[in-house]
Structure 1
Amino acid sequence: MVKPSWAFVITYFIIFLNLLLGSVFATIPADPLAQQELDKVLKLPGQTFNLSFAHYAGYATVNEDSGRALFYWLVEAAEDPGSKPVVLWLNGGPGCSSIAYGEAEEVGPFHIMADGKTLYLNPYSWNQVANILFLDSPVGVGFSYSNTSSDLLSNGDKRTAKDSLAFLLKWFERFPQYKGRDFYITGESYGGHYVPQLSQAIVKHNLETKEKAINLKGYMVGNALTDDYHDHLGVFQFMWSAGLISDQTYKSLNLLCDFQSFIHTSNSCDNILDIASAELGNIDPYSIYTPACPANVSQSNRLLKRMHKVGRISEKYDPCTEAHSVVYFNLPEVQKALHVNPNHAPSKWATCSDVVYTTWQDSPRTVLDVYEELIHSGLRIWMFSGDTDSVIPVTSTRYSIDALKLPTVKPWRPWYDDGQVGGWTQEYAGLTFVSVRGAGHEVPLHKPKQALTLIKAFLSGSSMPSSELFSDS
């Protein structure tokens, strides 16, 4: 027997080490179940509590040629995940992270304390009723990346839907235990485009392949950008009726910003939006009755101009939660725990990408045509609205729903939470509308308990709860 030389041993060891390290960051391993196990998150920095559920984080490559890879974080249901549906959550922007907002301050279980280093469990996490999948989409958002730098400058609605569909198909291969499971899509703000567009892409894919590769049952969006004309009309009316702007500014907004795109506005529209921002003063336009984060009050002009971009907003309200996320997700030990590829980690992680936002390519002025198509497909479709948001306010959503001209099935009424009015609801043929009283742009942040009631009703397909004095009959 010929003994191997030391050079051979060292060479073999280097090859083995490269293969081992490569498998950790591979996006398409030979064995999807092996990659699932590699994606399992063992413990998060700042976690001082034990968990009754598993969670996973990693990447799936959605385009091999350019090397586009989307980052996800799956949080399994707290109890009996095998019997619960899968719910995808998408934040908007465009360019904002679902990890930053959806997971870390809204519907996820892991929320961040003011020190930016310590976690606490959200008692109203949606993983009480479902397996929650958070996706940073498109590339350039959060930890999602591309090997082709020009990809970050060419994002738009169409490619986002296409890449998100490709991600889901890969993800279900990696997590075959969820194949065929009831699947729902939820989101907010510019997610008002992402969510119905992705739903449409899934329905088309299922028809083309003649199989339910993804068992989509429905979708739900909150304070959602839907139709530019009706959204603008509702924004201006809300700000005026709430006493936030003058009569003259209200008239000028309607004159100069009618039919303007929310992504690419005119100079005259921008100028009057600046005037409106000055009249609002240093308030949080995403939640007009709660205190603004002191670090952000100087940004009010910029924030209002980007009227669809998600804001920053626990039992104890904290207006600076975005700042806590910036600290936490920039920690190297956090990125390591979440399996962020160090070769593609952003030099500075941000909640929203200005590059993605400012270079957005395509954004249709309306998605009402998508609603009309999907309502006929039989999907369960809900729209909800926090009624203290001036960015995509309740008036905008109601105008957009009215434009669909759907017959009413159950008339307008209050719904209740612990004997108190939680908001109002109306059920149409093919769509249910729910407002959440006292909530801003990020409903689960401002009213987490009521948001949990909302997702429970949506997933069960039941009406919002009534008090004993106000029955549905």
Structure 2
Amino acid sequence: MQKINLMGYILGNPVTDGDISTNERIKYMHRVSLLSDEIYESAKANCNNDFANIDANNTKCLESFEAITEIRASVNTPHILESKCIYVSPKPVNKVPIAAERCRSQHYMLSYTWANDVEVQEALHVREGTVDLWVRCNRSLSYTLSVRSSISYHRNFAKTLLRALIYSGDQDAAISYVDSLEWINQLELSTDTHWNPWFVNGQVAGYVTEYLRFPYRLTFTTIKGGGHTAPEYKPRECLAMIDRWLNLSPL
């Protein structure tokens, strides 16, 4: 069996642990003022600060969690500062945005035309008949979710000479940067460089923390103003981030 000479890995806004994601998402919502102090503190007390394993008999917790869920549903979770799109059709493939303000989904429409073009598929060597209709987020795949956490993999990586880059758009309420910080803290690495700004064209592009367990090194950074899939929102900053990291340069 051929081995891969793996030198490092990069993850963007990653789902790493299901329970952590649920709990830290609510903490993030409070940090960015989507939840008031009163709602947040009441919910923590009612749910014993555990929103991932709610007791079905805990009425107060269920009410708090339902209220938070409604608040979250009212905003655009991939980027909380952008407009929440309103659609003509509820169908996921053919939905057409009708938001009065600019709706990011409008940019995705051309990708459907491009990816479903026969000549494009031929150029990409897609075997004829393997794809009936390309969709941007294929939610029809049949599988059973069996891995709720991948933290153990990162713990194993931390015993090697790998380098890791973990980045998160700081406006993402789906998989927040608070989520990533929590599971990284569970790796019990030493902090080599604390939360510092890094710059692109003289402007703050994000905030970076370096973690170390020699020879393993993990770089975590936020992308200022970025959402879920941060390069989509901040391509210039993310290109600079990747370029510097690959060249072993400080962000």
The alignment yields a C-alpha RMSD, in angstroms, of 3.1
Instruction: Within 5 Å, give how 1:394-405 maps onto structure 2.
Output: 394-405=177-188
SS across alignment from 1:404: coil
Alignment partner, residue 160 of structure 2: 377
Does the C-alpha gap of structure 1 residues 388 and 236 become closer, same or farther in structure 2, counting only changes over 3 Å? same
| Offset from partner CA, 1:356-406 (integer Å, 9 cap, x none) | 2xx432432221111111121211111111100001111111111111111
Is this contact kept in 2: 1:375–1:381, CA < 8 A?
Answer: no
Indicate which of 115, 133, 140 corresponds to 1:329. 115
Alignment partner, residue 230 of structure 1: 20
Matched residue type, 1:449 = R
SS across alignment from 1:384: strand
Matched residue type, 1:355 = S
Is this contact kept in 1: 2:23–2:50, CA < 8 A?
Answer: no
Q: Distance in 1 between matches of 2:90 and 2:43?
A: 23
Alignment partner, residue 221 of structure 1: 11
- TM-superposed CA distance for 1:255, in Å, is 5.7
Indicate which of 114, 135, 138 corresponds to 1:350. 135
User: Where in structure 1 are there 5+ consecutive unaligned residues?
Assistant: 1-208, 261-265, 303-316, 465-473
Q: Distance in 1 between matches of 2:143 and 2:67?
A: 25
- TM-superposed CA distance for 1:277, in Å, is 4.0
Does the C-alpha gap of structure 1 residues 392 and 324 become closer, same or farther in structure 2, counting only changes over 3 Å? same
- TM-superposed CA distance for 1:409, in Å, is 1.4
Does the C-alpha gap of structure 1 residues 426 and 338 become closer, same or farther in structure 2, counting only changes over 3 Å? same
User: Where in structure 2 are there 5+ consecutive unaligned residues?
Assistant: 93-101
Indicate which of 399, 413, 416 corresponds to 2:196. 413
- TM-superposed CA distance for 1:319, in Å, is 0.5
Does the C-alpha gap of structure 1 residues 323 and 257 become closer, same or farther in structure 2, counting only changes over 3 Å? farther
Does the C-alpha gap of structure 1 residues 446 and 270 become closer, same or farther in structure 2, counting only changes over 3 Å? farther
Identity of aligned residues (%): 28
How many residue pairs get matched?
Answer: 229
Structure with higher Rg: it is: 1
SS across alignment from 1:355: coil
SS across alignment from 1:383: strand
TM-score by length of 1: 0.44
Q: Distance in 2 between matches of 1:340 and 1:433?
A: 36
Do structure 1's residue 257 and structure 2's residue 73 form an aligned pair? no
Alignment partner, residue 339 of structure 1: 125
Is this contact kept in 1: 2:170–2:225, CA < 8 A?
Answer: yes
Structure 1 runs (4+) greater than 4 angstroms displaced: 252-256, 268-275, 296-299
Is this contact kept in 1: 2:84–2:103, CA < 8 A?
Answer: no
Matched residue type, 2:162 = L
- TM-superposed CA distance for 1:297, in Å, is 11
Q: Distance in 1 between matches of 2:155 and 2:207?
A: 23
Does the C-alpha gap of structure 1 residues 367 and 280 become closer, same or farther in structure 2, counting only changes over 3 Å? closer
Does the C-alpha gap of structure 1 residues 345 and 288 become closer, same or farther in structure 2, counting only changes over 3 Å? same
| Offset from partner CA, 1:255-280 (integer Å, 9 cap, x none) | 673258xxxxx9x9999766434323
